[in-house]
Structure 1
Amino acid sequence: MLAKRVFRNVVYNSSSVLIANVVGVVVTIYVARALKPELFGIYSLALSIAFLLLTFTDLGINATLVRYVAHAHGLKDYELVRGYIRGLSKLKVLLVFLVSTTLFASSDVLSTYVFHKPLLSDPLKVTSLFILFFSLSGFLNAIFNAFNDFKANLIKSAVYEFSRLFFIILFVSAGLSVIGALLGFAIASSLALIVLLVSLLKKYGNLVFGRAKPIDWRRIVRFTSYLTIGSITWVVFAYVDSVMIGMFLPAEDVGYYRASYNIVGAISGLVSIPTVMFPVFVQLEGRDLRNAFNRAFKYSAILSFPVVFGLISLGEQLIKFVYGADYLPAVPVLYVLSFLILRSALGFWGVIFNAKEKPEYPVYVSFFAMILNIVLNYFMILRWGIVGAGIATVVSNLFSWITLAYLSKVMFNVFPKVEHLVKPIVSSLIMFYIISQFKLSNLIEGVSVVLLGAMVYFGVLFLIKGMTIDDLRYLRTILGLERD
């Protein structure tokens, strides 16, 4: 029964992520083409600011709610469940309204004196509504998850994503431009909030209303401290470069940068293996842990390196196909940001430290990497523009990866074998050299050449024994194509 429920929750959650990714790509392409680089830059900058500020409406509250409500619910202490929900909901509402109203009130000052883009003022006012509705809907979603109910994830994703797609296309095609696109976000998040609220009251009203116990706020604060630092760090990592570009460069440069970043982010999600290894690493120690790590790292490296070099070789055609010729200035920064795919695919360190109940290490390292990112962005954006921002982001991520890799070696004796990096790199470089000999005039030709390059890559990889027949048998076994 438990296994069936877990599987069902995985299906619900995976389906919600898939819907979000597909609709997100469609929305980005449509808005980028409809608004053109300058207005798409204003739109991207407003959203980047919104997602930065969304961090301060959470501060680990959602994760804290899931942890403590789930624990109290498991003990069947429903008064304590209500206590956690009510106490944390008051804090959540306070933070949400504080951030939302502050952004609304300061939109003119921010747009004129900080970003020097008066066109940004009204979009920021609209995004303040998006912050309000989106953050509150996320909190309600967390309540469902605390009750081990992940169907709400799928419902929220379907309502929000399809509503967003519908209203953005409707408003932008009606001539409302940036305001219309952002209104689509605000309306979609408000609809998701309403649907979740009605469903919560109908399904779990007895766990929300009634007598409640007081909660231990000191315990809550102690638990959320690392979550707060970690959440702020990662969101800043994701959006501070776009915000700083908006401060120092024209709006269209933000559009070019986010256009490239969105492509890299979409591809990274397809080749990211580390997250699914978390439950495996939790159960393993010593040699078993090292063996599982090396096996996963080897296959991640084999998959990710050719993707990076393939994206670089196909970058110009991909940008032109997805966004149009107006976005060709985004090509150079796409080449730089492509290396972030490796950070996603080979970033096992945070998973290992969390699995071994040492989350403070990735939090501290990420915090220092974030500071490095901000400093490098300041100097490199002024010197090299959006390419400098891309370099700053890649370098700071590399610093985080190397530092955590060293700490993993010291604390757990877990570290990748050199050959698992060198052989995919050598094979990818040979593939890239062959691909670069072709003059590509369109995406179709590019895809054909990349397929040829993939055959070269795996051929070389087998020749230098970066991949063997045993590896193929192992992959067939885990895919269910061959008996173990």
Structure 2
Amino acid sequence: MSSNLADIANQSTRGSFILFLGDAISTIVLALGSILIARFLGPEGYGVYSLTLAIPAIFISLVSLGIDSAAVRFLAKFKSEHEFARSISFMKTSIVFRFIVAIAAWSICFISSNILASYLLNRPEVGFYIKLSSSLILFQALFNLLYSMSVGLDSYSTGSATKICMSLVKSSLAPLLVFIGLGVAGAVLGHILGFVVATIAGALAIYLGPYKNLKRFLRDCGEYENGFIKNLKLMISYGIPLYLSSLILLLVDQYRLILLAQSVSDFEIGNFQAAGNFATLLVVLSTPIATALFPAFSKLDPTGEEIKKTFQYAVKYTGILITPAAFFTISMSRILVEIVYGHAYSMAPIFLSLYTIVYLYSVFGSIVLDNFFSGIGETRINFKTTIVYVSSFIPLSVILTYFYSVVGLIASILVSSILKVSYGLFVAKRRLGISIDPNNSIRILIASGVAALSILPFSLNQSIPNYVSLLMGGVLYLVVYMTMLPIAKALQRTDITILRNLFQNQGVLKPVAEMLIKYESSLIERMKRQ
């Protein structure tokens, strides 16, 4: 690995770890809050709560316009090129423009809340809840932008801290307001207040930290800021393909709930959402990696050999992390649901097991591909892969949901997702000569699959207490998986060297990583001697 590639890898690893900590803590806190909300509201109330938040989520997706992605790319680019004036003007432009658009969307949602409840959700009685939740559009839109700015400015700790702040406020206030008798309205209000507090805290942190530092550098070098229109053209021209992709996918996510609202009961929707809450735990592993890879790919020559190696390493190591987590979740779905939600959510385990299959696609590049294309500037390919997904998902979901309810919807997600990944790999190979190593993918699946088989006695035996099964099964799974990695040749000597270099300057992460690396290294050496 060249020194340039090593530097980029180390920076990405550091950023991934900080973002992972923030995501992990916030997700755990949000999960605990969601569990309390789900228990206090019950399946039907939780289903209404989920449908209510679907409406502002649609509007939030509409106001993005790709500015969040542009903030990460251009703030990182300007900072690396020491163009401090452009960084400052870009920040001002993006905040002002986001505020104007979000206010407009908030007004539309507030005024049309009863119409949306009646004709979009087929539930006129939730009009008040939609009106209440409409203010979420402004604050969550600003929160998302501030988080992207912190990543682009290498202020990862600020982004993580604001996420944790949001989760703490939401997860404490929302269940409390439900508990004292406010019901669904209390849950919605607590959700909103979480973003209000976090947005204010994030704005202050960026202003007092990165922004003031940029101002100080600007005074020293005497540069001038760019105009509003010039910055706006820059961010929109880059972000529009990404915006269209993310907009379509976000709308599809809400379409899924709307489709369920038209076809299945609130009880089934509540079970599906409960299963989705567990699936977000896997996002905690994947999102920080994907976020850190975005600027990493943008620093490399798309036609060079380094980016080919980086792509393969990214797919492999992402798969090594995500695939075993997915297999474990599939195997332990019943136990996880019963521990957290009790027996009331009786359909959630099968929904969770099926839905989690989509994370197994990580070994084929599902997590890396989008950020790879965005990083090298090929945002139109992102849009085309999205079209492949949507064009297959919509007809499949209508048919399969009609016949098989929630299970049919999940099946349509799985089929459409693998078609999207296949198209992305095809384009990467044809245009850029970049591909995954299928042998690595198969080896990781084998190692994870064997580990999953080893814990079946715990997952299937209902006479063992759930907590005992989860603890003992988790330990056994980790040991078997770590042992199978070198046996299946998913990890080899070159990987050990790379991983040591990646984690040698990672602070508190280094001791844990070194312990695992030593174990893997000893197994590899023992196998070599035999």
User: What range describes the TM-score normalised by the shorter chain of this pair?
Assistant: 0.7 to 0.9
1:399 and 2:419 are equivalent in the alignment: yes
Q: Is the 8 A contact 2:311 2:372 kept in 1?
A: no
1:39 and 2:11 are equivalent in the alignment: no
After superposing the two structures, state which structure 1 stretch, 36-45 or 426-435, moved more: 426-435
Which of 166, 170, 173 is 1:164 aligned to? 170
1:371 and 2:391 are equivalent in the alignment: yes
What is aligned with 2:461?
Answer: 440
1:317 and 2:310 are equivalent in the alignment: no
Q: Call closer, same or farther: CA 1:195–1:376 in 2, change over 3 Å.
A: same
Which of 111, 129, 136 is 1:130 aligned to? 136
Which of 97, 108, 114 is 2:120 aligned to? 114
Describe the superposition over 1:177-236 as per-residue Cα deviations: whole angstroms up to 9, x where unpaired.
Answer: 1110110122222233444556677776997xx998452355454233223213213423
Q: Is the 8 A contact 1:21 1:266 kept in 2?
A: yes
Q: Call closer, same or farther: CA 1:418–1:105 in 2, change over 3 Å.
A: same
1:283 and 2:295 are equivalent in the alignment: no
Describe the superposition over 1:315-373 as per-residue Cα deviations: whole angstroms up to 9, x where unpaired.
Answer: 11111111111112112211211112224563222233233332221222113312322
Describe the superposition over 1:234-258 as per-residue Cα deviations: whole angstroms up to 9, x where unpaired.
Answer: 4235443233212322222222112
1:358 and 2:382 are equivalent in the alignment: no
After superposing the two structures, state which structure 1 stretch, 355-364 or 339-348, moved more: 339-348
Q: Is the 8 A contact 2:58 2:254 kept in 1?
A: yes
Q: Is the 8 A contact 2:69 2:148 kept in 1?
A: yes
Q: Hey, what's the Cα distance between the residues in 2 that align with 1:42 and 1:255?
A: 8
- CA-CA distance at 1:52 after TM superposition: 2.5
Q: Is the 8 A contact 1:126 1:186 kept in 2?
A: no
Q: Hey, what's the Cα distance between the residues in 2 that align with 1:432 and 1:8?
A: 30
- CA-CA distance at 1:69 after TM superposition: 7.1
Q: Call closer, same or farther: CA 1:315–1:151 in 2, change over 3 Å.
A: closer
Q: Call closer, same or farther: CA 1:451–1:113 in 2, change over 3 Å.
A: same
After superposing the two structures, state which structure 1 stretch, 449-458 or 243-252, moved more: 449-458
After superposing the two structures, state which structure 1 stretch, 379-388 or 186-195, moved more: 186-195
Q: Call closer, same or farther: CA 1:211–1:409 in 2, change over 3 Å.
A: closer
TM-score (norm 1): 0.84
The residue matched to 2:435 in structure 1 has which SS? coil
- CA-CA distance at 1:314 after TM superposition: 1.0
Number of aligned residue pairs: 479
Query: Where do 1:261-280 residues align within 5 Å?
Result: 261-270=276-285, 273-278=289-294
Query: Where do 1:10-25 residues align within 5 Å?
Result: 13=19, 15-25=21-31
TM-score (norm 2): 0.77
- CA-CA distance at 1:164 after TM superposition: 1.4
The residue matched to 2:122 in structure 1 has which SS? coil
The residue matched to 1:357 in structure 2 has which SS? coil
Which of 433, 438, 441 is 1:418 aligned to? 438
Which of 273, 292, 296 is 1:258 aligned to? 273
What is aligned with 1:339?
Answer: 357
Describe the superposition over 1:376-412 as per-residue Cα deviations: whole angstroms up to 9, x where unpaired.
Answer: 2222211111111111111111111111111122123
1:185 and 2:191 are equivalent in the alignment: yes
Q: Hey, what's the Cα distance between the residues in 2 that align with 1:61 and 1:48?
A: 22
Q: Call closer, same or farther: CA 1:77–1:335 in 2, change over 3 Å.
A: closer
- CA-CA distance at 1:40 after TM superposition: 0.8
The residue matched to 1:297 in structure 2 has which SS? helix
The one-letter amino acid paired with 1:313 is S
Q: Call closer, same or farther: CA 1:368–1:335 in 2, change over 3 Å.
A: same
What is aligned with 1:222?
Answer: 237
Describe the superposition over 1:87-116 as per-residue Cα deviations: whole angstroms up to 9, x where unpaired.
Answer: 555543332123222222222222233322
Q: Call closer, same or farther: CA 1:12–1:459 in 2, change over 3 Å.
A: closer
Query: Where do 1:237-256 residues align within 5 Å?
Result: 237-256=252-271
Which of 28, 33, 58 is 2:34 aligned to? 28
Q: Is the 8 A contact 2:95 2:142 kept in 1?
A: no
After superposing the two structures, state which structure 1 stretch, 339-348 or 124-133, moved more: 339-348
Q: Is the 8 A contact 1:57 1:135 kept in 2?
A: yes
The residue matched to 1:283 in structure 2 has which SS? coil
Q: Is the 8 A contact 2:337 2:345 kept in 1?
A: yes
After superposing the two structures, state which structure 1 stretch, 241-250 or 452-461, moved more: 452-461
- CA-CA distance at 1:167 after TM superposition: 1.4
Which of 321, 325, 338 is 1:307 aligned to? 325
The one-letter amino acid paired with 2:280 is G
Percent identity of equivalent pairs: 20
Q: Call closer, same or farther: CA 1:141–1:405 in 2, change over 3 Å.
A: closer
Q: Hey, what's the Cα distance between the residues in 1 that align with 2:153 and 2:314?
A: 32
- Specify every segment of 5 or more residues in structure 1 that has no aligned partner in the other structure, as ranges: none
